[in-house]
RNA sequence: GCGGGUAUGGUGAAAUUGGUAGACACGCCAGACUUAGGAUCUGGUGCCGCAAGGUGUGAAGGUUCGAGUCCUUUUACCCGCACCA
């Protein structure tokens, strides 16, 4: 009986689906284990072999934990709102819902082929109304909450109203917008309800405010900070500009400290934690207030070096700072305005790109030093960022390189005094930016102190004179939550006189309206502005036609939609109780499953999804909906599987750039001639490095020039001819990697079948002679359709089987490491499965006997049990596969066909290769699935050895081995070793100075 | 600039607390069988060397009887943040 994966795999996949083998129960005697994958965005391209890597790893853990007696929750779903579906809709007019559904069907088909043990009965799709109903609900909860700094948690806004009614807001310590006005209880109670609403909005955890946002004109939407990479949009790489817009924001900054502290309690990779720490960007220091001379204005700065307060030489404000226009003197007005305008014109990216150019302008105004009352000139400079701290700095050139550079650049100009040095250090060449190794001088009461004591003392003194206080600053900004897109969650919000009102939760979901086109409206409204049925009737409590808007009973609805991260910030909770219509999940389910024990996904979500999820989790905990502080206890980032691209190399000519060359570069390039000559990497390299011989060169030139002549003869009269150039290069040309899986050669025929553009191609071999086969070049790149290096898991499953795919993906290397895919190596694991099968079957059928196995067989099995158990616990899946191979090789050698060995072996293999394991299990005569059978338990007794092959080293160099009983003492070992003739040969009569014997390990003779 | 990570044969990679470097595979070489297949099986394979032997984990130094592993210095590459006050 031979092993045919085709029959086995389909059969068991069907069995699992029909029997709901992996459906998790929400209560059980067993301990719970929640293992989660980052759910995919279903793109039109389908899965490639990189996508399932993490899913295979998590599936192995899920299956293992079931064997170990856990009640395992292992769900899967789709993050199905998103930009690609919308852009496709814009191009084709197809409803995103339709394409999304099609893509999901394709994904599901591909996933099913790999044999995952997902509990599909709990599938979620973020774009389904019964899911986003609860995303909207959470938004409402955030709106109805505020954050109390003292209690360090969120509370219902209704409680805040009570506080305001009783005592106003002067004595409360709450997270809110900058510059909220102070009021007493009496004043509050006298405010109109509109005014009260306006004030409350400044405290809500999601709020509507005019803020500087990242506007991406090409995408027609705002983006969150984490959606921008190097000043351009993460998707598409479009430029992003700053723009003031009224937008919904999430007050994630309220949670900055808890998000930072929580990192200490979770088992995540150091790099992700570090990314989050960077993103949160905590810095401890002080805020200092400087009075602007002879004016009512004050400038507040944040500094991490209050100890350098006496070194303040000038101050710098960001060009966008609100005081700039108010404090500038008439004499400086023109210069300042010109500078501000020039800066505003530059994009964020430009400013980032040229950080070395120093620019700035003096405002003419002075501030007073809080201790010395000395005048301090106030400058504007674009090295100060409006978005960080207060957008203003106290410049201490002696201790800060940027201030130092700025001071030197404007040295001698009006308003730039001599640098004050407050360190007992030389600053003639550069600033002294160290935080240790100095003593403060010229610093009044700080003289003689160091960084630590000086900081403490300076803050104390500042507090005494009310000139400043200790302050912790965070880089983390509130997250913009509005997107000007169609394919996202609509807000449950309507507007009465411009003030946002929440729709009562019992009317949710507010379903995404139909629109005729998915682009913004002509007057610049988001796509939902195209909807005709998008108004809220407060009497009938339903969405109604926009024509009925009268701002009395029918009001306009919010036109923005939620960002992509909304739906993914809580989905792991929905899996716990995916079909609950009354709650986002029942209390019982939430209490039972708590949080995710193991989360596997890519590291690209470090500062996006993973931070927002922690934020929402903490919020929902504060409001008593859930109990865990953190959503994901352990996180593993699978490395990217890279594609092995294959290239042939094509000649093209470069026109001589000399006197004759006319026109710009593009013109010249357009006159270059791309030939149909393809060569191997080896030859291409020779031409790149100009190490070819002249003979070869002239042969190729001949063919090339023939082609040029031919091309010229086919040109129309007016077209300019290609000249016979003498200068040529090769360009790499991607060919489909699937054409060259098992060999490095590609034939002309293969290429012509693959793509018609190769019909006139000529291959040239290393001797300059036409050939029909050349060796391709290889390079590792990210897998992508355009690079023709995508390997489809379906193809692997069809050819080798899902079990082979699963084993091979694990066998490639450590899970967290990026690694190139190379299908050539797959025969190793494919052969392993065949070998495994042959332990159980010969040509006639099952050969398993009930005979008692030998000690060696037990040893092989138990070694494997031990190794595989440890490996899974340590997520070291690649070494497990090696161990399986070792075990099967050993058992085959031992001709083992013993049930007592082969039965546990089938269970051991089942997390990795579940289909073959199920088949073996059932062929061994068992009913039901192997997936819940107890995992074999390792027993030490089978591994106990009586002898050890000792390595014998001389001066640390291993010379020979000697087999000795393990119960010998060191002295006995020494005696035997010393009398061994090989020892005598090595020593050549010398006596060792020292003999080191570690029983059970090594023998080392020194001297 | 700051922070995180990686570096071992032709290739992917193993190596618990420091204890026989290169397990397991791919590839390659040789052979067996054969219905000549990209099947199966056996042996070999870090490098130099006929061998004895030498040498070898990015580089240099150190600790140790013994270092891929620990310490110091350094180089290259990858990732994150970045005029963050």
Closest nucleotide to A985: CA versus each C1': B52
Contact criterion met (CB below 8 Å) for A255 and A509: no
Contact criterion met (CB below 8 Å) for A774 and A646: no
Cα–Cα distance measured from residue A986 to residue A761, given in angstroms and rounded to the nearest whole number = 66
A785 known member of a binding site: yes
Cα–Cα distance measured from residue A584 to residue A130, given in angstroms and rounded to the nearest whole number = 10
A290 exposure class (CB count in 10 Å sphere: 0-12, 13-18, 19+) = buried
Cα–Cα distance measured from residue A720 to residue A536, given in angstroms and rounded to the nearest whole number = 65
Specify the DSSP class assigned to residue A577. G
Residue nearest to nucleotide B67 (CA to C1'): A956
Residue nearest to nucleotide B3 (CA to C1'): A274
Specify the DSSP class assigned to residue A587. H
A924 exposure class (CB count in 10 Å sphere: 0-12, 13-18, 19+) = middle
Closest nucleotide to A358: CA versus each C1': B83
Closest nucleotide to A381: CA versus each C1': B83
Q: Which residues in chain A land under pLDDT 50?
A: 657-666
> What's the CA A951/C1' B54 distance, rounded, in angstroms?
20
Give pLDDT, residue A351.
66
Residue nearest to nucleotide B64 (CA to C1'): A956
Give pLDDT, residue A784.
81
Where do the H-state alpha helices sit in A841-913?
855-873, 877-893, 899-909
Cα–Cα distance measured from residue A171 to residue A318, given in angstroms and rounded to the nearest whole number = 31
Where do the H-state alpha helices sit in A569-637?
571-574, 587-593, 609-622
Give pLDDT, residue A666.
47
> What's the CA A848/C1' B30 distance, rounded, in angstroms?
35
> What's the CA A603/C1' B3 distance, rounded, in angstroms?
16
Closest nucleotide to A959: CA versus each C1': B20
> What's the CA A725/C1' B76 distance, rounded, in angstroms?
39
Give pLDDT, residue A294.
86
In chain A, the largest separation of any two C-alpha atoms, in whole Å, equals 110
> What's the CA A939/C1' B40 distance, rounded, in angstroms?
35
Cα–Cα distance measured from residue A436 to residue A385, given in angstroms and rounded to the nearest whole number = 27
Cα–Cα distance measured from residue A21 to residue A23, given in angstroms and rounded to the nearest whole number = 6
Question: Beta strand A145-148 with A153-156: parallel, antiparallel or unpaired?
Answer: antiparallel
Closest nucleotide to A473: CA versus each C1': B84
> What's the CA A640/C1' B12 distance, rounded, in angstroms?
15
Which bases of chain B are contacted by protein, using any atom under 7 A from a CB?
Answer: 3-5, 11-16, 19-21, 23-27, 38-42, 54, 65-67, 78-81, 83-85
Cα–Cα distance measured from residue A780 to residue A784, given in angstroms and rounded to the nearest whole number = 11
Cα–Cα distance measured from residue A295 to residue A569, given in angstroms and rounded to the nearest whole number = 48
> What's the CA A435/C1' B72 distance, rounded, in angstroms?
24
ipTM of this complex = 0.94
Closest nucleotide to A316: CA versus each C1': B85
Closest nucleotide to A356: CA versus each C1': B83
Give pLDDT, residue A347.
63
> What's the CA A317/C1' B28 distance, rounded, in angstroms?
68
Residue nearest to nucleotide B38 (CA to C1'): A742
> What's the CA A1007/C1' B52 distance, rounded, in angstroms?
22
pLDDT tens-place string over residues A471-509: 999 999 899 899 989 999 999 999 998 899 999 999 989
Closest nucleotide to A892: CA versus each C1': B41
> What's the CA A860/C1' B54 distance, rounded, in angstroms?
37
Closest nucleotide to A352: CA versus each C1': B83
Residue nearest to nucleotide B81 (CA to C1'): A278
> What's the CA A891/C1' B54 distance, rounded, in angstroms?
38
> What's the CA A953/C1' B21 distance, rounded, in angstroms?
15
Nearest to A783 by CA among A604, A646, A643: A643
Residue nearest to nucleotide B26 (CA to C1'): A825
Closest nucleotide to A817: CA versus each C1': B6
Closest nucleotide to A818: CA versus each C1': B78
> What's the CA A432/C1' B73 distance, rounded, in angstroms?
25
Give pLDDT, residue A242.
74
Question: Beta strand A241-250 with A479-480: parallel, antiparallel or unpaired?
Answer: antiparallel
Closest nucleotide to A994: CA versus each C1': B65
Can you say how many angstroms the Cα of residue A584 is from the centroid of all Cα atoms in its chain?
A: 26
Would you tell me the crossing angle of helices A855-873 and A877-893 to the nearest 10 degrees? 170
Instruction: Write out the two tokens for A863.
Output: 């070694």
Contact criterion met (CB below 8 Å) for A393 and A415: no
> What's the CA A866/C1' B5 distance, rounded, in angstroms?
30
> What's the CA A330/C1' B1 distance, rounded, in angstroms?
39
> What's the CA A575/C1' B24 distance, rounded, in angstroms?
38
Cα–Cα distance measured from residue A127 to residue A99, given in angstroms and rounded to the nearest whole number = 12
Give pLDDT, residue A665.
47
> What's the CA A615/C1' B61 distance, rounded, in angstroms?
48
Nearest to A386 by CA among A326, A316, A324, A318: A318
Give pLDDT, residue A9.
93
> What's the CA A513/C1' B26 distance, rounded, in angstroms?
55
Nearest to A144 by CA among A126, A124, A161: A161
Residue nearest to nucleotide B15 (CA to C1'): A879
Give pLDDT, residue A661.
44
């Amino acid at each position: 009986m031979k092993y045919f994966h085709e029959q086995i795999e389909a059969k068991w996949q069907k069995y699992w689906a029909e029997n709901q083998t992996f459906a998790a129960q929400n209560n059980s005697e067993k301990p719970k284990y929640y293992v989660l994958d980052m759910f995919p965005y279903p793109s039109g391209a389908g899965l490639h072999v990189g996508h399932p890597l993490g899913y295979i790893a998590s599936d192995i853990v899920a299956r293992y934990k079931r064997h170990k007696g856990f009640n395992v929750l292992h769900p899967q779903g789709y993050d199905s709102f998103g930009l690609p579906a919308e852009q496709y809709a814009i191009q084709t007019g197809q409803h995103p819902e339709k394409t999304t559904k099609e893509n999901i069907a394709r994904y599901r088909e591909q996933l099913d082929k790999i044999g995952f043990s997902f509990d599909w009965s709990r599938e979620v799709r973020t774009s389904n109304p019964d899911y986003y109903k609860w995303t909207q609900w959470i938004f409402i909860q955030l709106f109805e909450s505020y954050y109390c700094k003292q209690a360090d948690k969120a509370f219902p806004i209704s409680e805040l109203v009570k506080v305001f009614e009783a005592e106003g807001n002067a004595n409360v310590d709450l997270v809110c917008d900058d510059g909220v006005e102070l009021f007493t209880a009496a004043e509050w109670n006298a405010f109109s309800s509109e005014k009260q609403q306006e004030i409350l909005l400044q405290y809500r955890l999601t709020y509507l405010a005019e803020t500087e946002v990242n506007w991406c004109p090409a995408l027609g939407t705002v983006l969150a900070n984490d959606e921008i990479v190097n000043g351009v949009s993460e998707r598409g790489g479009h430029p992003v500009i700053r723009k003031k817009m009224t937008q919904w924001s999430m007050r994630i900054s309220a949670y900055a400290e808890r998000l930072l502290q929580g990192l200490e309690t979770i088992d995540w990779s150091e790099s992700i934690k570090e990314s989050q720490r960077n993103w949160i960007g905590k810095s401890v220091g002080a805020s200092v207030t400087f009075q602007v001379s002879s004016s009512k204005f004050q400038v507040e700065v944040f500094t991490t070096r209050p100890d350098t307060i006496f070194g303040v030489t000038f101050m710098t404000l960001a060009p966008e700072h609100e005081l700039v226009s108010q404090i500038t003197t008439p004499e400086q007005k023109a210069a300042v305005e010109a500078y501000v305008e020039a800066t505003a014109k530059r994009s964020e990216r430009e400013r980032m790109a040229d950080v070395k150019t120093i620019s700035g302008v003096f405002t003419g105004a002075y501030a007073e030093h809080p201790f010395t009352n000395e005048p301090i000139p106030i400058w504007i400079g674009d090295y100060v960022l409006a978005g960080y701290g207060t957008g203003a700095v106290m410049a201490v050139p002696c201790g800060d390189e940027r201030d130092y550079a700025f001071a030197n650049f404007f040295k001698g100009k009006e308003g730039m005094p001599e640098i004050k040095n407050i360190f007992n250090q030389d600053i003639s060449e550069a600033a002294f930016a160290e935080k240790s190794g100095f003593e403060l001088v010229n610093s009044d009461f700080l003289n003689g102190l160091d960084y630590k004591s000086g900081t403490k003392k300076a803050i104390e003194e500042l507090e005494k004179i009310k000139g400043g206080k200790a302050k912790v600053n965070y880089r983390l900004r509130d997250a913009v939550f509005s997107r000007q897109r169609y394919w996202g969650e609509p807000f449950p919000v309507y507007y009465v006189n411009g003030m946002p009102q929440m729709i009562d939760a019992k009317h949710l979901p507010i379903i995404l309206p139909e629109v005729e086109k998915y682009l913004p409206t002509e007057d610049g409204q988001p796509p939902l502005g195209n909807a005709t049925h998008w108004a809220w009737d407060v009497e009938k409590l339903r969405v109604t036609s926009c024509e009925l808007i009268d701002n009395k009973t029918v009001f306009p609805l919010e036109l923005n939609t939620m960002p992509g991260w909304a739906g993914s910030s809580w989905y792991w909770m929905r899996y716990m109780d995916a079909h609950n219509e009354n709650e986002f999940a029942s209390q019982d389910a939430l209490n039972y499953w708590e949080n995710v024990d193991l989360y596997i996904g890519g590291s690209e979500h470090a500062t996006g999804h993973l931070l927002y999820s922690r934020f929402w989790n903490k919020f929902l905990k504060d409001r008593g909906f859930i109990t865990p502080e953190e959503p994901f206890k352990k996180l593993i980032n699978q490395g990217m599987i890279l594609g092995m691209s294959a290239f042939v190399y094509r000649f093209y000519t470069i026109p001589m750039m000399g006197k004759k060359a006319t026109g710009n570069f593009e013109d010249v390039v357009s006159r270059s001639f791309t030939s149909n000559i393809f060569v191997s990497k080896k030859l291409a390299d020779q031409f790149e490095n100009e190490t070819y011989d002249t003979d070869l060169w002239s042969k190729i030139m001949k063919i090339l020039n023939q082609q040029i002549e031919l091309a010229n003869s086919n040109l129309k009269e007016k077209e300019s001819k290609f000249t016979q150039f003498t200068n040529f290069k090769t360009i790499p040309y991607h060919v489909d990697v699937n054409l060259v899986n098992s060999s490095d050669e590609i034939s002309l025929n293969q290429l012509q079948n693959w793509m018609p553009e190769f019909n006139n191609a000529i291959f040239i071999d290393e001797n300059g002679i036409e050939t029909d086969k050349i060796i391709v070049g290889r390079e590792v790149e990210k897998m992508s359709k355009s690079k023709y290096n995508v390997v489809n898991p379906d193809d692997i499953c069809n050819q080798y089987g899902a079990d082979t795919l699963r084993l091979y993906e694990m066998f490639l290397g450590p899970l967290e490491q990026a690694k190139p895919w190379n299908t050539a190596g797959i025969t190793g694991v494919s052969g392993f499965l065949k070998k495994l099968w042959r332990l159980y079957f010969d040509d006639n059928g099952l050969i398993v006997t009930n005979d008692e196995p030998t000690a060696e067989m037990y040893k092989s099995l138990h070694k494997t049990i031990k190794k595989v158990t440890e490996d899974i616990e340590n997520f070291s899946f690649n070494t497990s596969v090696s161990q399986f191979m070792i075990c099967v090789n050993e058992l085959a050698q031992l001709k083992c066909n013993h049930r007592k060995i082969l039965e546990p072996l089938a269970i051991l293999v089942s997390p990795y290769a579940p289909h073959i394991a199920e088949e073996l299990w059932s062929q061994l005569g068992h009913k039901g699935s192997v997936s819940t059978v107890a995992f074999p338990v390792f027993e030490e007794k089978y591994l106990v050895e009586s002898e050890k092959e000792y390595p014998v080293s001389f001066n640390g160099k291993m010379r020979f081995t000697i087999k000795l009983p393990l119960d010998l003492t060191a002295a006995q070992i020494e005696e035997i070793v010393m009398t061994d003739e090989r020892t005598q040969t090595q020593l050549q009569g010398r006596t060792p100075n020292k003999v080191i014997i570690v029983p059970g390990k090594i023998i080392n003779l020194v001297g």
